[in-house]
Chain A
Amino acid sequence: MPTRIHPLLIAFTVVVYLFLLGPLIIIFGASLSDTTYLTFPPQGLSLRWFENIWEISAFRRTIVTSLQMAFLGTLIALIIGIPAAYALNRHRVSLPAWLSTLFVLPILVPEMVIGFSLLRSVTVQMGVPVWYALLIGHTLLVIPYVIRVVSASLASFDFSVEEAAISLGSHPAKTFFTIVLPNIRSGVIAAFILSFITSINDVSVSLFLTGPGISTLPIQLLAHMEQFFDPTIASVSVVLMMLTIVVMIIVERTLGLAVVAK
């Protein structure tokens, strides 16, 4: 019960929450300002800076590219990651111990190092076109999340159900799709969402891999900030925040908020 906690600690916590959420409210306010410069509280209310996002072709293009990378990257990661997670759980004995460490490498190795290394090897040495190199980078980034989250889901799955189905004559592959997958559904969805958000927000890898005409939203935001320090940056931020809220609502509806705490 909160009454057992010293009021000073509660006060401190309130301050921390104000600290965490305050700036976001300020950005929200600044995005609505009818001025050409950033100011809070907003002077005059207007949605023009939201309209401006759509008018700038660079933003339109990079939003599309970011969505492409997030969707495709996550999809590919799911396609190769779910079997890997399954193998780690089901066939643990026949796989070396270092494999799970290998799968976690993209999180362990600093993103800046990954981005630079991919630029050297994939873009320059192998001559892979920008769009594909970017996709490779984003897929790599999210593989560990897919494998970890799906693994966690599989860990609480009772494999005896699967074995029973197989012993009754069901083909192993079909059993996977009809028995295992539906039961780890929440894990797959969580993995999808986590990966999607990671990819959309990525800076360090995209920084090295973007090229003429092909860039992602965060990188474009950085470029825009350099050129124009106007409320468009605030409105793009608000759009990203809205996207996050939508995602969280989806999570809440399908899995319950408790999943976030895990």
Chain B
Amino acid sequence: MPRLKTLTLSSLSTLALLAAAPASATTFTISWWGFNGDKLQEIIVNPFQEMCGCEVVFETGNNGDRLNRLQMRSGAGVDVIYLTDSYSQTGIEQGLFQPIDPAQIPNISELYEMAQAPQGEYGPAYTVGRIGLVYDSARVNPPITSWNDLWREDLAGMIALPNITTTTGPMVVLKAGDHAGVSAYEDQDATFASLAELVPNVVTNYNTGSEMINLFSTGEIAVSMTQDFTLNPLRAAVPTVEWAALEDGEIAVLNTINIPTGSENVELAHQFINFVLSAEIQQQLAEQGVDAPVNTNVTLTDEQAASWTYGEEAIGRLQRIDYSQLNPARNEWLDLWNETFGM
């Protein structure tokens, strides 16, 4: 049966070649969102690959997705993991991370104090952001100036909220509580009744920042709640988008880097963290519109600083979330959220 034989032989040899191809030196695995992938490749990955002579591989997805996968693998499979502070808090509680050795990360001393050890002996924060509202000024009039504006009738069918499964989702519930004049932790009924009033305004709830940007760029929505790291790419897609100047204040978010217990390259991981915390890299990331800097040696012009949470003073004005309260509440709110939006 010559045909079958040739087919088998050629497939096997091709596959052998394919499989043999990338077996190079060490593989360093980073778990992050994948957002701004091309810029991160340029600013962080390429220089780091040269420094370490290793090959960098990614696991991408949102916080929940990646933390769950890490838990499935019992802390193995990736060398460093980028998470937002509420999720890294969960990771710590689940025993998935190892404490870092500050001696191997000298650049930590250059950071704002709140970023150096936000979660005890675990990873530092590499950026600080705010959660607020964005809107397309071409379609929304008058402009948005308060969280309560979300409930405006003229915004019917124009909003996408972060899904409860995202970082910012639970904060929607907190704000719904504020809107009803109650604490979301104490009066769930009133809070969710207030959330239900939002329903006619909401088209869909997004799972990732990039999904939200797509919804804006295709005109499906004109208002959303998001973190400020999405602002630059959002403005590039839809120039008329504005960050709402909220009189009732925005929420602070710290993104952390941690080393999972199953990391195969712990020393390299420390090197990597030190690398991304350096003033040089933080400067480039800020200037290229990727992340707000937490290294005090980064200097930005007023124009560059405009879209970031920059400076000790600006950071001081933000509302901090107590994750030890929010995280447990989040699980309870999951079903109530689905019953509000998913029926």
In the complex they form, whether A and B have CB atoms below 8 Å apart is answered with yes
Which residues of A are interface residues toward B (Cβ below 8 A)?
37, 64, 68, 71-72, 75, 119, 123-124, 177-178, 181-182, 185, 188, 211-213, 223, 226-229
Find chain B residues with CB under 8 A from A228 CB: 210
- Interface segment, B56-64, B95-103, B263-271? B56-64
Residue contact A227 to B35, C-beta cutoff 8 Å: yes
Distance (Å) between the CB of A135 and the closest chain B CB?
Answer: 11
Find chain A residues with CB under 8 A from B1 CB: 177-178, 181-182
Residue contact B58 to A213, C-beta cutoff 8 Å: yes
Chain B: interface residue count, which band? 20 to 34
**A181-B11 contact given A123-B72, A124-B72, A227-B35, CB 8 Å threshold:** no
Q: How far is the CA of A75 from the CA of B14 in the complex (A)?
A: 13
Distance (Å) between the CB of A91 and the closest chain B CB?
Answer: 22
Task: Name 28 interchain pairs, CB-CB below 8 A, sorted by A.
Answer: A37-B218, A64-B18, A68-B18, A68-B19, A71-B14, A119-B72, A123-B72, A178-B1, A182-B1, A185-B3, A212-B29, A212-B31, A212-B57, A212-B58, A212-B59, A212-B69, A212-B78, A213-B29, A223-B34, A226-B207, A226-B208, A226-B210, A226-B214, A227-B35, A227-B208, A228-B210, A229-B214, A229-B217
Residue contact A75 to B8, C-beta cutoff 8 Å: yes
Find chain B residues with CB under 8 A from A124 CB: 72
Q: How far is the CA of A124 from the CA of B58 in the complex (A)?
A: 20
The 5 closest A-B pairs by CB, nearest first: A212-B59, A227-B210, A213-B57, A229-B214, A71-B11
Find chain B residues with CB under 8 A from A229 CB: 214, 217-218
Docked complex: B19-48 residues within 8 A CB-CB of A: 19, 29, 31, 34-35, 37
Residue B15 at the A interface, CB < 8 A? yes
Find chain A residues with CB under 8 A from B29 CB: 212-213
Q: How far is the CA of A182 from the CA of B3 in the complex (A)?
A: 10
Distance (Å) between the CB of B20 and the closest chain A CB?
Answer: 12
Q: How far is the CA of A75 from the CA of B4 in the complex (A)?
A: 10
Find chain B residues with CB under 8 A from A123 CB: 72
Q: Chain A interface mostly helix, strand, loop or mixed?
A: helix
Find chain A residues with CB under 8 A from B58 CB: 212-213
Q: How far is the CA of A229 from the CA of B31 in the complex (A)?
A: 23
Q: How far is the CA of A229 from the CA of B218 in the complex (A)?
A: 9
Residue B77 at the A interface, CB < 8 A? yes
Residue contact B210 to A213, C-beta cutoff 8 Å: no
Residue B189 at the A interface, CB < 8 A? no
Distance (Å) between the CB of A227 and the closest chain B CB?
Answer: 4
Residue contact B59 to A68, C-beta cutoff 8 Å: no
Q: How far is the CA of A211 from the CA of B77 in the complex (A)?
A: 9
Residue B187 at the A interface, CB < 8 A? no
Distance (Å) between the CB of B120 and the closest chain A CB?
Answer: 27
Which residue from chain B places its CB closest to the CB of A214 in the assembled complex? B57
Q: How far is the CA of A182 from the CA of B2 in the complex (A)?
A: 10
Q: How far is the CA of A185 from the CA of B217 in the complex (A)?
A: 52
Q: How far is the CA of A209 from the CA of B78 in the complex (A)?
A: 16
Residue contact B59 to A213, C-beta cutoff 8 Å: yes
9 further contact pairs, Cβ within 8 A, besides A71-B11, A75-B8: A64-B18, A75-B11, A123-B72, A188-B4, A213-B57, A213-B58, A213-B59, A226-B208, A229-B217
Q: How far is the CA of A119 from the CA of B34 in the complex (A)?
A: 23
Q: How far is the CA of A229 from the CA of B208 in the complex (A)?
A: 13
Distance (Å) between the CB of B184 and the closest chain A CB?
Answer: 29
